Amino acid sequence: MGRSVHVQSDNTTDMEISSPQQAAADSPQSPYGVGFPPRRKLASQFAHRVKETFFSDDPLRPYKGQPRSRKLFLGLQHLFPIFDWGRSYSLDKFKGDLIAGLTIASLCIPQDIAYAKLAHLDPQYALYTSLVAPLVYSVMGSSRDIAIGPVAVVSLLLGTLLSDEVDPVKNKEEYLRLAFTATFFAGVVQAALGFFRLGFIIDFLSHAAIVGFMAGAAVTISLQQLKGFLGIMDFTTKTDIISVMKSVWRAVQHGWNWQTILIASAFLAYMMVSKYISKKKKKLFWVSAIAPLISVILATFFVYITRADKKGVQIVRKIEKGINPSSAGKIYFSGPNAAKGIKIGVVAGMVALTEAIAIGRTFAAMKDYQLDGNKEMLALGSMNVIGSLTSCYVATGSFSRSAVNFMAGCNTAISNIVMSLVVLLTLLVITPLFKYTPNAVLASIIISAVIGLIDFQEAHRIWKVDKLDFLACLGAFFGVVFISVEIGLLIAVLISFAKILLQVTRPRTVRLGNLPGTTIYRNVEQYPDTIQAPEFLIVRVDSAIYFTNSNYARERIMRWLRDEEDYVKENNLPKINFLIVELSPVTDVDTSGIHAFEELHAALRKHEIQLLLANPGAVVIQKLRSSGFIDLIGQDKIFLTVGDAVQANCAPKEGEA
Amino acid sequence: MGRSVHVQSDNTTDMEISSPQQAAADSPQSPYGVGFPPRRKLASQFAHRVKETFFSDDPLRPYKGQPRSRKLFLGLQHLFPIFDWGRSYSLDKFKGDLIAGLTIASLCIPQDIAYAKLAHLDPQYALYTSLVAPLVYSVMGSSRDIAIGPVAVVSLLLGTLLSDEVDPVKNKEEYLRLAFTATFFAGVVQAALGFFRLGFIIDFLSHAAIVGFMAGAAVTISLQQLKGFLGIMDFTTKTDIISVMKSVWRAVQHGWNWQTILIASAFLAYMMVSKYISKKKKKLFWVSAIAPLISVILATFFVYITRADKKGVQIVRKIEKGINPSSAGKIYFSGPNAAKGIKIGVVAGMVALTEAIAIGRTFAAMKDYQLDGNKEMLALGSMNVIGSLTSCYVATGSFSRSAVNFMAGCNTAISNIVMSLVVLLTLLVITPLFKYTPNAVLASIIISAVIGLIDFQEAHRIWKVDKLDFLACLGAFFGVVFISVEIGLLIAVLISFAKILLQVTRPRTVRLGNLPGTTIYRNVEQYPDTIQAPEFLIVRVDSAIYFTNSNYARERIMRWLRDEEDYVKENNLPKINFLIVELSPVTDVDTSGIHAFEELHAALRKHEIQLLLANPGAVVIQKLRSSGFIDLIGQDKIFLTVGDAVQANCAPKEGEA
């Protein structure tokens, strides 16, 4: 694998340029045969496979050739990245972090109080979550831009899953304990995925499915807000659009509360306008960032002055003062509730992880730093485990707050610490002031926050690029909106999988032709200029040949041959004598694939057609060799390129003619 | 797509040969750009996809351009192939079929009586099955060599699944009704798969998994025969090796029945020797084919003479005389038993289908005729539905009898009709003679039949070719032997799927180098002769880039780059300026894949490296275009070959220097 000077670009020396020329003139075939890679021992093959599967990011790279004490320090840094970036932290960076931290705090406090309702929990639990989780993350996490806390989608998902098991009003204490249990196991699952380097599992939720799921969740969450927005007392506990619309319609007859609607609409309008302003002028990002806080302050003040709560405007009423109590004793570690907690925790934990990793990756790409997915999972998992012991529920990265954090100029996770301290002050001092905050303004805050999760542009782009992806996107969306959050998620995963299976079951096969004047052979549909060599049929299979598609591939090749033989007969062209299978895209075969080759070879022999193979890759040639297929067809039937295969089998015939 | 005369092989005319030469000398880049395939309308794309997925075999081909009456006739022929081959049937062909039919009849009658025991059914039900099923198949099926009837593996599977639900001794009638119900739904599922052209579903059971499953089933079935072989009265109903061995050990203390063991061992030895003879001399296939019948006759006669049944040798005792009674009224169409029947029917039906299709394909390939999988499924399904109404249980193609049928010189499905008629005679006349047949000889027959399902050679070949396939094979084997038939099947399916998912999650990425003197770029590990072009890093991703692997692919490419940059720095070589991604094996991208490309492009820009793409396929280039990625990087960054990409970006630099 040594490097040497490149020859192709250097046209001056005779020797180097003569060879391709001569190759083209004298013997048009290239002077190379197909390479047989050196056989590797089973153990080294296995080690290589394991490394690529679980350690593809080569995490031990910085440790190579370091003394032991340094290795220990690097390991500590790896687990707690704060030791890494903390050493070069400066006052200059702190300025940015302070402003960003204060901004996201002003956004997070009203959002928290609102999101807790989605999870059917008292508002203080969301504030507790915003106090502890960011502190843990800032020590262990490696994203510099993510803003940690409760988020709308996970709150809704948790609320739905938990209330399927326990009634949040009748069995309040049991519900709370189950919430902590689910949070604990969500954290354990997240940390375990990271620790066992199984982070790639979250990749199974495709981008398109996430877009659909998020939009569906946004619609569902907004619909849920109609309760607070319209001041409806008796509201369904279901989340599907039909149940919600029935509830809303039933409430019409009892009369909606006009004062509530007035408050809600006014502040929603204010927040939407401020969002629009921030979008138009990036510098004015703070206008939309502080809008929720201003809305809460104004609305609370307004209700307090007018005593609108006596006229049917529902208010927060009570919010616990003081910092997080311990909840370690409240987690179920055994019994049926532990099983329920594990089930809910796994689902909520995976969704939370998907959201956090997507955010982390987006901002890491924008600022060009590496983000180790497995390490992030360990950090997020530890955060939720610690959170579950201190009265927090599942926290993750928030899309809206992370964007604000980024635009406010955050430099490190210190902005999360600043936010956490502001939340601490809030919990210690000013929570009683939220007593008169109307639920209506909280509904407006949620609606204005989640509306950004509906990404029409991206949906349109998915439609343009890949119709099956769009189907996954739509499936997830309608599943969430019309059935439930879990079913939507399930549909998204199933369609994504079905797409993979379709691809491995029905790979494309194409026919190749020669680009005149070159030795290049390409897909005849993509390159209409191509011409066919007489006596040859050249096909390419566009996939690894596995048990899922080996029969299809073989039968499809035979169908190409039948079609071509019919065509040849009709037009009195020379009979097909050679079938070349171009194997460049065939990255692997298994035993079923080799069977298919054997059957193809046998069938072709009956037709008196020779089977030639072009450009088998390293793995394919090894397997063809160890299965004895190469001995069966003869090593002279395997060529470096399609051009070589054509020329080697053309030349003698031309000479005879 | 018109054909024209091939140029490459014709070196005589000036014009044609000059172009590649000149191309190499003057401008080494080939004169072609990347082809953009014509945009197809959504409807036509969709129709094409559906056609390739469900109608890949182009079943309507013979109907094209035929008059209506001819179409009707062809349709009838399609459904009942007997109208096709029946018209050219001759006395000459009948001779072969008669001999083959008599031979497989002599094999099938003793096997049937034995296999019924595996399904916990009375022996006549297996004979009923061998009467009706072959008749239906011979009219509808298109394999000429398959021998239809009850088989060991399906009998065992059905027996295990049914006795999990109903006790075959205590609730004999309910058990029987459930067996017919399962058979009915097995047939419905099989026919439905064929009708809806979903036959490819059985391909999801990989070859390796089937080899392991069959071997495991053979061991399990043989172990079950220890009951009859050793004359044990009190035997476990479980099938795992540990339970069976405990049963056998417990029975030792009560004493095994030496007369039984003597009979069993003697006839097993006889049959194994005859098998060996047939294997050595293919012409003597009949020696092993009639061995079971001779064994039954001799053993029955021996027991009758010596009245060994009074000395503890167990005998068949009772076997119903007369032909199939109707069982239409016995099938459960509703209630919990119908649900159980459906569940069992689906599993047994799929396994039966897998076996029959594998046999059909094997012999079709040997005699070179086409076998339409979907049509076969329709035939097998109809056969089982009709069977379930006439007191039959699940029938399928038998490995051992089909091989005998083939070697005895069968020509058409008439041999199945001959066999069926012999079974009819047996049922009408000689069943009472089987009264004294010892169970021991039946055990010997089963053992000698299933031992052939253990294919060490194939297992060894799988080990040589593909280690992961071997794991699936082993998993299926041990699952069946140590746990149960269903679990073994489940393990086999899961490992097969896991293998696919691993491949789509962690595709190989390789580095390419130039074969000196050519414009060909190949994997540096496979072709150690390759050299590197300075300033270039060329990598290839060996898979479609989907959501499951897009992050991995991007990160892995960046890791190749980091490694290369380190290498370049250490050796004072010129800085990497171009990263070429060879897309030949990248058969598809989805929206996640395009995101990965965008992120890669952004990351490379920070490193001041240009991203070049080589040889994108039709689908990939379309998606890159519709997503706007081509406009992002510029169309001049996309090349027909890696060689073109290198030369286009090398030449001007050389000129400047």
The whole-number pLDDT of residue B29 equals 65
Inter-chain CB proximity A627 and B654 less than 8 Å = no
Residue A37 CB coordination number (10 Å): 15
Pairing of strands B536-541, B578-582: parallel
**Is some CB atom of chain B closer than 8 A to the CB atom of A369?**
no
CA distance B205 to B268: 33
- Report yes or no: B361 at the A interface, CB cutoff 8 Å: yes
pLDDT at B295: 92
Contact call for B595 and A469, based on CB within 8 A:
no
Instruction: Please enumerate in sequence order all residues whose Cβ is within 8 A of that of B639, keeping only pairs 6 or more positions apart, or say none.
Output: B33, B34, B612, B613, B614, B615, B645, B648
Report DSSP letters for B328-344, one per residue: GGG---SSHHHHHHHHH
The verdict on a CB contact (< 8 Å) between A365 and B602 is: yes
- Contact residues, B window 476-535, toward A, CB-based 8 Å cutoff: 496, 499-508, 510, 513-520, 522-529, 531-534
Q: CA B143: distance to chain centroid? A: 16
DSSP state of A171: T
More confident of the two residues B466 and A474: A474
ipTM: 0.80
| Chain A with chain B: Cβ pairs closer than 8 A | 375
H or E element, residue A358: helix A336-367
Average pLDDT over residues B491-509: 82
**B256 close to B227: Cβ distance less than 8 angstroms:** no
Q: At residue A166, what is the residue type?
A: V
Average pLDDT of the residues in A578-605: 90
Q: What is the pLDDT of residue B4?
A: 39
> How far from chain centre, in Å, is Cα A23?
49
Using a CB–CB cutoff of 8 Å, tell me whether A309 touches chain B.
no
Q: How far apart are CA A544 and CA B542, in angstroms?
A: 9
A residues 618-637 near B, CB within 8 Å? 618-619, 621, 623, 626-627
Place of tokens 């070069």: A88
The residue among B645, B518, B641, B644 whose CA lies nearest residue A28 is B518
List of chain A residues whose C-beta atoms are within 8 Å of the C-beta of residue B353: none
Record: contact B3-A532, CB cut-off 8 A = yes
A238 burial level (CB within 10 Å; 0-12, 13-18, 19+): middle
Q: What is the pLDDT of residue A1?
A: 39
Subunit contact A528:B35, Cβ cutoff 8 A: yes
Asked whether the beta carbons of A546 and A586 are under 8 A apart, the reply is no
Residue B56 touches partner A, C-beta closer than 8 Å: yes
CB contact under 8 A, B57 and A555: yes
DSSP output for B260-312: HHHHHHHHHHHHHHHHHHHHH-GGGHHHHHHHHHHHHHHHHHHHHHHTGGGGT
Of B10, B465, B594, nearest to A623 by CB-CB distance is B465
The residue of chain B nearest to residue A589, with distances taken between CA atoms, is: B466
pLDDT at A5 (0 to 100): 36
- Whether the per-residue pLDDT at A22 is higher than 60: the answer is no
The pLDDT of residue A651 is above 70: no
Q: Which residues contact B191 (CB under 8 A, 6 or more apart)?
A: B377, B378, B380, B381, B382, B385
> Among B81-90, B500-509, B597-606, whose mean pLDDT is lowest?
B500-509
B441/chain A closest Cα distance in angstroms = 37
B203 and A552 within 8 Å at the Cβ level: the answer is yes
- Per residue in A486-534, pLDDT tens? 888 888 888 878 888 877 788 888 999 998 888 889 998 888 888 888 8
Of residues B90 and A18, more confidence is placed in: B90
Cα separation of A520 and A516, whole Å?
8
pLDDT confidence band for A20 (50 / 70 / 90) = very low
Contact B503 A546 (CB under 8 A): yes
Q: Quick one: pLDDT band at residue A29, thresholds 50, 70, 90?
A: low
- pLDDT for residue B629 is more than 90: yes
Q: pLDDT of A226-241, one tens digit each?
A: 888 888 877 887 888 9
Determine the pLDDT at residue B28: 53
Residue B131 confidence (pLDDT): 95
Question: Which residue of A533, A592, A623 is in closest CB contact with B207?
Answer: A592
Q: Which of A1, A193, A575, A625 is best to mutate for the B interface (most B CBs within 10 A)? A: A1
Mean pLDDT in residue range B473-491: 89
| Contact (CB<8Å) A465/B594 | yes
Nearest-neighbour CA in chain B from A445: distance (Å): 31
* Distant-in-sequence, close-in-space partners of B247: CB < 8 Å, separation ≥ 6: B226, B227, B232, B234, B235, B236
Q: What CA–CA distance (Å, rounded) separates A168 from B96?
A: 77
Provide the pLDDT for residue A83: 85
Which positions ≥6 away from A625 have C-beta within 8 Å? A36
* Least Cα separation, residue B343 to chain A (angstroms): 22
Distance from CA of A497 to the nearest CA of B (A): 9
> Which burial class, exposed, middle or buried, applies to A31 when counting CB atoms under 10 A from its CB (0-12, 13-18, 19+)?
middle
Q: Residue A429: is its pLDDT beyond 60?
A: yes
Residues of A in contact with B377 (CB under 8 A): none
Token reading at A439:
């639920």
Mean predicted confidence (pLDDT) in A572-578 = 90
* CB pair distance less than 8 Å for A546 and B206: yes
Domains and CATH numbers, chain A: 42-79 (no CATH), 95-456 (no CATH), 507-656 (3.30.750.24)
Residue with the bigger pLDDT between A36 and A416: it is: A416
Find out whether B522 and B530 touch, Cβ atoms under 8 Å: yes
State whether B510 and A373 contact (CB < 8 Å). no
pLDDT at B359 over 60: yes
pLDDT band at A69 (very low <50, low <70, confident <90, very high): confident
When CB atoms are compared, the residue of A365, A587, A650 closest to B9 is A650
**Which residues 540-569 of B are in CB contact (within 8 Å) with A?**
542-544, 546-552, 555-556, 559, 567
Calculate how close chain A gets to B420, using CA atoms only, in Å. 32
How far apart are the CA of A478 and the nearest CA of chain B, in angstroms? 20
**C-alpha radius of gyration, chain A, whole number:** 32
- The residue type of A527 is Y
Q: How far is B108 from chain A (nearest CA, A)?
A: 30
Name the residue among B373, B465, B621 with its Cβ closest to that of A591.
Answer: B465
CA distance A636 to chain B (A): 18
Cα gap A632→B532, rounded to integer Å: 35
pLDDT of B382 above 70: yes
Q: Is the pLDDT of residue A28 over 70?
A: no
**How would residue B21 be classed by pLDDT, with cut points 50, 70 and 90?**
very low
Q: How far is A532 from chain B (nearest CA, A)?
A: 5
- Give yes or no for a contact between A622 and B467, defined as CB atoms under 8 angstroms apart: no
Q: Give the range among A249-263, A567-581, B264-278, B505-519 with minimum mean pLDDT.
A: A249-263
Question: Is B606's CB within 8 Å of A528's CB?
Answer: no
Q: Does B365 touch chain A (CB under 8 A)?
A: yes
CA angle B506, B605, B534 (to 5 degrees): 80
Of B9, B361, B506, nearest to A52 by CB-CB distance is B506
Surface-to-core class of residue B328, CB atoms within 10 Å of its CB (0-12 exposed, 13-18 middle, 19+ buried): exposed
Band (pLDDT 50/70/90 cuts) for residue A583 is: very high
How far B333 CA lies from chain A's nearest CA (Å)? 30
Do the chains contact at A32 and B529, CB–CB below 8 Å? yes
Q: What is the pLDDT of residue B548?
A: 85
CB-CB under 8 Å, A4 with B206: no
**Inter-residue contact A321 to A128 (CB < 8 Å):** no
Report the alpha-carbon distance of residue A364 to residue A360 in Å, rounded.
Answer: 6
Q: How does pLDDT run across A353-393, given as a tens digit for each residue?
A: 988 988 888 888 777 777 888 889 999 999 999 999 999 99
Residue range A40-47: mean pLDDT, rounded: 77
**What does the pLDDT look like over B184-224, one tens digit per residue?**
999 999 999 999 888 777 777 788 888 898 899 899 989 98
Q: Which residues of chain A neighbour B499 with C-beta distances below 8 Å?
A: 546, 590
Q: Which residues on chain A are in Cβ contact (under 8 Å) with B533?
A: 6, 8-9
The mean pLDDT value of chain B amounts to 85
pLDDT of B306 higher than 60:
yes
